[in-house]
Amino acid sequence: MISSDVTDRATGTLLGAACGDALGVPYEFAPRLASDRAPEMIGGGLGPYAPGEYSDDTQMAVCVAAALRDHDDPRSPEALEQTARAFLTWLREGASDVGVQTSRLLRSTERVVTEGGDDAAVVMTDHADRMYGAGERCAGNGSLMRTAPLALAHLDDPGGLAESAARYSHLTHGDPLAAQACVLWCEAVRRAIVHGDHGGPRAGLDLLPAAARDDWAGWLDEAEREPPAAFAPNGFVVRALQAAWSAIVHTPVAATDPDRFTSPVAAAVHAGDDTDTVAAIAGALVGAKWGRSAIPAAYLDVVHGWPGHRAEGLGALAEAILRRHHVHA
């Protein structure tokens, strides 16, 4: 049976990502916010966005989450196809901001699918492989920002979660580094939901190919030594993960701290550069650690975004994933 604490942390994962995203939106690619200024959900940014509106980070995460809600096996062709088709719908109807690589890949996929009716997930993954094989930059942070919901469908299955994280990353990012980052962060989120710990991405190193573990251990060491701003620019997936993890480890908080969610997520915004993405990544893990109950009501009251979700809708989506994949959630 899923306890109320685990449910709180699971819903905190999706809501934490959305709130971090909306908190970072106003400062994306702008001059770094002064250290004595607290980030606010004032909107603007690249959208421009309304106050409290989340961006592509959460919009794409919602596409993943809906497939997890609707399918028993996240790795089934049907679940991956639903996700890929949702990405294409999002591109046409809801993409307020989209990365250059992701935009090119989705648009080329849409042309093929429209003309030939092929499976979108297969076409999309093939395009990702071709881009990587051609030497294009395919290790951006665009898959890491959206894969945290996968943890909710794999609370007792780290191996299955690692496989799912890699597959969902591969839909748009052919570089193995992107998949490896998703594996590490998703496992960190899973452990936080299940155990309430902040062991972080280091716990997922054994889930990576053996040849990749030393590199990632070194990158995590660096994140634990250096402040978040040291990893800007952070569009590269390794540096995005480092910035988010650095923000968390350099902002220690206690269970009784009323700012236990806000402080580390604000530190992620202060990292600068791709602020909404780094704060969304950090927010997913901080929310998984402390739960929905730790997120300020002022954030939950205003957070919203495509395709029409507010906090209650995002929380209901997370709970539906739990019910689908875990008895008595």
pLDDT in tens, 50-72: 999 999 999 999 999 999 999 99
Can you give the residue ranges of every domain in the chain? Answer: 4-325
pLDDT at 99: 81
pLDDT at 223: 98
Weakly modelled stretches of the chain, pLDDT under 50: 328-329
pLDDT at 113: 86
pLDDT at 94: 76
With contact defined as beta carbons under 8 Å apart, do 96 and 59 qualify?
yes
pLDDT at 115: 61
With contact defined as beta carbons under 8 Å apart, do 204 and 162 qualify?
yes
φ/ψ region of 45 (left if φ > 0, alpha if ψ in -120 to 50, else beta) reads left
pLDDT at 117: 67
- CA distances 49 to 28, 79, 124, 263, 305, Å, are 11, 30, 28, 23, 9
191-207 pLDDT tens trace: 999 999 888 999 999 99
With contact defined as beta carbons under 8 Å apart, do 15 and 303 qualify?
yes
With contact defined as beta carbons under 8 Å apart, do 47 and 24 qualify?
no
The dotted CATH code for 4-325 is 1.10.4080.10
Candidates 244, 233, 325; CA nearest to 280 is 244
pLDDT at 329: 43
For 213-315, strand residue ranges (E) read: 304-305, 309-310
Q: Is 212 exposed, middle or buried (0-12, 13-18, 19+ CB in 10 A)?
A: middle
Rounded Cα–Cα distance for residues 227 and 198 (Å): 18
> Could you please report the per-residue DSSP string of 23-75?
HHGGGTTSSPPPTTS------BTTTTB-TTB--HHHHHHHHHHHHHHH-S-TT
pTM exceeds 0.85 for this model: yes
